[in-house]
Amino acid sequence: MADRGLQKQKLLWLVKILYENTDDEHGLSQREICALLRDKGIFVERKTFYSDIKTLIDFGIDVVKVKEGRNTFYHMGSREFELAEVKLLVDLVQSSKFITDKKSRSLIGKLEKLTGVHEAKELQRQVIVAGRIKSENESIYYTVDTFHDAINRDVSVTFNYSQWNMQKKCELRHDGKLYTVSPWALSWSEGNYYLIGFDNDSREIRHYRVDKIVKLNLTENQRQGRKAFGQFDIASYTKRLFGMFGGEEKQVSLIAENNMVGILIDYLGRDIPINPIDADCFETEVSVVPSNQFLGWILSLGNGIKITGPEEVVENMAKMLEERMEVYKDKMKKPSRAFSRTHCATGEPATSNYSYLNS
């Protein structure tokens, strides 16, 4: 005799079987579906089966019937996510720098459940991203959630900020200084998550790499900086900060060959002005923080682009070129302490209104 408790679950199991085992390319016959239900201890008569399928369709579940000769096959039609959409999500997870390998595997396993077993096999692919090093911080997901919680509650947070030392170990920055920050937004840039907030002590807008934040706690104090963020444009803020290195924003003039227009639009946006000079070149003006990151990016584009103003930025570029030439005159020459302090991975000295706390 059939178990009445299991029989009550019949429609649920029917949906589960169709969802997990069928798709547009793989259908199941009535006999095959009933056999799978029997494996669960659920018995279905032929007439009842057709009635159950109609009940699912009337409820809004897209069950598709396909006639092939004398046989009829059933499969799940539309899903919440199309296979192409799930593939895109899998690629984003695999290529994301801030998501650890362990968490990537876990998330992809959950994404597979959005498809059937046959389509899930197509999700097992490796996305190669050159130079992409996965984070080792497993708590970043909970950190992001805590920031959203703080924003919703309108409260400040406290945390310590970490950095790598010469022994390849993370240590607390500024001797374990406790940062008190009012979080206002989260941004994704250069493969990393950043918190954009108002530093309660310095009274400035600053940004912090989320994976380097540790010992995060909510406070009961209301967020500060509401006026500063009243007309804050997060897209504009991240666009003008190359590599999220801060500094004073300036209007920088450039002259470039026409073949550079695509690169500039890709990096700086479609709203930059394009003013033709002649048949070969154009001029533009962009609002950016002319940090060493920005100057280095301009250098990487070769001779097809040139900074023409303001004079201070032109002089900084010339100075950078001179310093680089000095370093490479003698390939065995050891960098000076001044060079190491100013131009290594920590970027330019922190003398600006914005923090470059991503080193």
Q: What is the pLDDT of residue 245?
A: 53
Kindly state the helix (H) or strand (E) to which residue 107 belongs, with its residue range: helix 101-112
Lowest mean pLDDT: which of 56-65, 306-315, 317-326, 337-346? Answer: 337-346
Domains, the chain, ranges and CATH? 4-76 (1.10.10.10), 83-123 (no CATH), 140-232 (2.30.30), 243-343 (3.30.70)
> Which pLDDT band holds residue 134 (cuts at 50, 70, 90)?
low
The whole-number average pLDDT for the span 184-205 is: 82
Q: For residue 337, give the 3-state DSSP assignment.
A: helix
Residues 6+ apart with CB under 8 A from 159: 178, 179, 181, 213, 214, 215, 216, 217
pLDDT at 284 over 70: yes
The whole-number average pLDDT for the span 270-279 is: 86
Q: What is the mean pLDDT of the chain?
A: 79
Over the stretch 38-89, which tens digit does the pLDDT of each residue have?
Answer: 998 888 888 899 999 999 999 999 999 999 888 899 999 888 888 878 887 8
Q: What is the pLDDT of residue 336?
A: 53
Task: For residue 130, count other CB atoms closer than 10 A to its CB.
Answer: 4
> Which pLDDT band holds residue 335 (cuts at 50, 70, 90)?
low
> Which pLDDT band holds residue 344 (cuts at 50, 70, 90)?
very low
Lowest mean pLDDT: which of 237-251, 288-302, 316-330? Answer: 237-251
> How far apart (Å, rounded) are the C-alpha atoms in residues 81 and 242?
34
> Which pLDDT band holds residue 113 (cuts at 50, 70, 90)?
confident
> How far apart (Å, rounded) are the C-alpha atoms in residues 187 and 185?
7
Kindly state the helix (H) or strand (E) to which residue 316 belongs, with its residue range: helix 311-329
Lowest mean pLDDT: which of 31-45, 93-107, 283-297? Answer: 93-107
Residue whose tokens read 């946006």: 269
pLDDT at 350 over 60: no
Lowest mean pLDDT: which of 211-215, 287-291, 338-342? Answer: 338-342
Over the stretch 160-182, which tens digit does the pLDDT of each residue have?
Answer: 998 877 676 778 888 899 999 99
Q: What is the pLDDT of residue 338?
A: 46
More reliable by pLDDT, 121 or 298: 298
Which DSSP string corresponds to 225-262?
Answer: -TTTTTT--HHHHHHTSGGG-----EEEEEEEEGGGHH
> Which pLDDT band holds residue 287 (cuts at 50, 70, 90)?
confident
Contact yes or no for 183/223 (Cβ under 8 A):
yes
